[in-house]
Amino acid sequence: MFEKTFFRKECLKRRKRLDLKAQTKAIAAHIEYFFEQHPFEIVGFYVPIHNEIDLQPVLMKLKEKQAIKTLALPKISKGQMRYGVWVPGQDLVKDDAQVPAPRIITEVKPRCLLIPCLAIDGQGYRLGYGGGWYDRYLSQIDIELTIGVLSEDFVFGRFSHEPHDRPLSGWVCENGFTWVKPPRQ
């Protein structure tokens, strides 16, 4: 779809020009508070690429506090995305999508995913890089909470989506969390 392709390229160009230090600090504070109030056994996250928000420091802190017991990273191999346990210092190699991932994975099924977004709309539909990996993964697994991670600059009222697109539960940006489907208490 041309509109989506153009929008994706424009968002990526715009994000690469931004200095996201202040946004990253604010988002990390929101994430820390949220997980202290809502602990999770297994949380999936991502290795930042293309100037994405880096959550690794705050997630390691939450793991030390035991608000999160296990951290997991995605790995794309043989046409599938799976999550594997991540341990700080573990070797990462480029997976089939050329994204850093654990070399060897012990597969786990996270109950909460922190998902990078180029953009998101008010209904929770995420714009990513166009590979459809997260949408396919979310259609195959029952997951409690999916949280998009991005700067407020990339939150839009509505953009086109397709039948296979999966809305997220909500998103976090420097101004805090916005929920489409709030977490259970």
Contact 166, 133 (CB under 8 A): no
Please indicate if the annotation marks 33 as binding a ligand: no
Report strand pairing: 170-173 vs 145-149: parallel
Rounded Cα distance, 121 and 151, in Å? 12
Please indicate if the annotation marks 158 as binding a ligand: no
Please indicate if the annotation marks 17 as binding a ligand: no
Please indicate if the annotation marks 7 as binding a ligand: yes
Rounded Cα distance, 179 and 169, in Å? 6
Please indicate if the annotation marks 156 as binding a ligand: no
Please indicate if the annotation marks 128 as binding a ligand: yes
Please indicate if the annotation marks 176 as binding a ligand: no
Please indicate if the annotation marks 10 as binding a ligand: no
Please indicate if the annotation marks 184 as binding a ligand: no
Please indicate if the annotation marks 4 as binding a ligand: yes
Please indicate if the annotation marks 40 as binding a ligand: no
Please indicate if the annotation marks 132 as binding a ligand: yes
Please indicate if the annotation marks 125 as binding a ligand: no
| Region for residue 51 given its phi and psi (left: phi exceeds 0; alpha: psi -120 to 50; beta: otherwise) | left
Known binding-site residue numbers: 4-8, 47, 52, 126-134
Known binding-site residue numbers for substrate: 47, 52
Known binding-site residue numbers for ATP: 4-8, 126-134
